[in-house]
């Protein structure tokens, strides 16, 4: 243009969201480990044996997969993205490691997992909770899982009574497994980098598994952690809680009557199977913090169910739990309180 300057466009810097021509989608939780020293550290801390069958979830382009194949007997990799599956197969095709790699394409939450000895994975963070419990309830036992989580989720897993992040997820997970924090991982160790830091956690399933009804246990914890810093007395006085427990109580009584002399244990089991609440383990987002918009804990406390309400409060008083808070209770205290409720015919599923 006359009288004007020609602006030279600067060449665009190559995107950090590619590897080997493959673009990564943050929306799908695709953050590939790019630091080889970190990969080595994860494999070393996993304690892999040469005879181990290793389950890897979300292998991506295979940076971690390669080290797992070198350390164990076989790697079973579950990957949803067909592009990653092809890249993984291409990477190891014709190498001595190829015959020890089995790739399953599909959603890991919907896939029937095979037998394995150890799980090592850098997972999409949006499936953290359901995947953790899918592994813990896997029908065949495994030694441990070493998993990369979003840091805050990881710290919830390992939190102890009195910790700020201690929550229903902490209690649920630690009932079924020993959980320990291994590594803090900065966001720049990934391509593309996530918005938050991460942590590697070791999960070792308890053997034998605790003999508790999973729905009953989880339903009980959901009530206790409605507001973890409120007293249990205040929580269990709520009209919605009393109403739910009374409904379950009446269901149990009806089943007892219909069995005509069947054992109380059989009736309780049957009642739990037809309980009115669905208590899945997969969601921890509904737990409320005291920093949230305040909720009137006294709402409905003067409502109906007076006799049954007194029955519930007597259980809390018997165990000395009326003035205690879930944020400070140990796993053993939760188990004891649940046993007191069940002994009185009060159930949570």
DSSP labels, 22-82: EE--GGGT--EE--HHHHHHHHHHHT--TT-EEEEE--TTSHHHHHHHHHSSEEEEEES-H
Nearest to 148 by CA among 58, 67, 82, 37: 58
* Dist. CA 181–CA 196, nearest whole Å: 17
| Strand order across the 53-57 sheet | 101-105, 74-79, 53-57, 118-122, 144-150, 198-205, 177-185
Q: Is the dihedral of CA 225, 226, 227, 231 positive or negative?
A: negative
Is 58 a known ligand-binding residue? yes
Is 33 a known ligand-binding residue? yes
Is 79 a known ligand-binding residue? yes
Nearest to 169 by CA among 206, 212, 222: 222
Is 219 a known ligand-binding residue? no
CA 346 to chain centre: 27
Is 138 a known ligand-binding residue? no
Numbered residues of the known binding site = 31, 33, 58, 79, 107, 122
Numbered residues of the known binding site for S-adenosyl-L-methionine = 31, 33, 58, 79, 107, 122
């Amino acid at each position: 243009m006359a009288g004007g300057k020609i602006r030279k466009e600067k060449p665009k810097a190559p995107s950090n969201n590619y590897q080997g021509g493959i673009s990564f989608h943050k929306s799908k939780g695709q953050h590939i480990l790019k630091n080889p020293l970190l990969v080595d550290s994860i494999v070393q801390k996993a304690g892999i044996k040469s005879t181990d069958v290793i389950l890897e979830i979300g292998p991506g382009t295979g940076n971690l997969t390669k080290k797992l194949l070198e350390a164990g007997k076989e790697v079973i990799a579950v990957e949803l993205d067909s592009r990653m599956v092809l890249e993984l197969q291409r990477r190891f095709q014709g190498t001595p490691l190829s015959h020890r790699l089995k790739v399953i394409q599909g959603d890991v939450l919907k896939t029937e997992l095979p037998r394995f000895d150890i799980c090592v994975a850098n997972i999409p963070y949006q499936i953290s909770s359901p995947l953790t419990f899918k592994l813990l309830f896997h029908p065949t036992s495994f030694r441990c899982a070493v998993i990369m989580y979003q840091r805050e989720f990881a710290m919830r897993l390992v939190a102890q009574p009195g910790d700020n992040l201690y929550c229903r997820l902490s209690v649920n997970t630690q009932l079924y497994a020993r959980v320990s924090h291994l590594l803090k991982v900065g966001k720049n160790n990934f391509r593309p980098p996530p918005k938050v830091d991460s942590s590697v956690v070791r999960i070792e399933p308890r053997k034998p598994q605790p003999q508790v009804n999973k729905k009953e246990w989880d339903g009980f914890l959901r009530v206790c952690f409605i507001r973890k810093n409120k007293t249990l007395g205040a929580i269990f006085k709520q009209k919605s809680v009393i109403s739910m427990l009374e409904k379950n109580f009446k269901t149990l009584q009806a089943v007892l009557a219909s069995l005509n002399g069947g054992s109380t244990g059989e009736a309780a089991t049957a009642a739990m199977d037809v309980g009115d609440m669905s208590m899945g383990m997969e969601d921890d987002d509904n737990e409320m913090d005291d920093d949230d918009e305040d909720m009137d804990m006294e709402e409905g406390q003067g409502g109906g169910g007076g006799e049954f309400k007194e029955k519930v409060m007597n259980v809390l008083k018997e165990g000395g739990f009326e003035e205690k808070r879930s944020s400070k209770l140990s796993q053993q205290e939760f188990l004891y309180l649940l046993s007191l409720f069940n002994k009185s015919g009060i159930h949570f599923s």
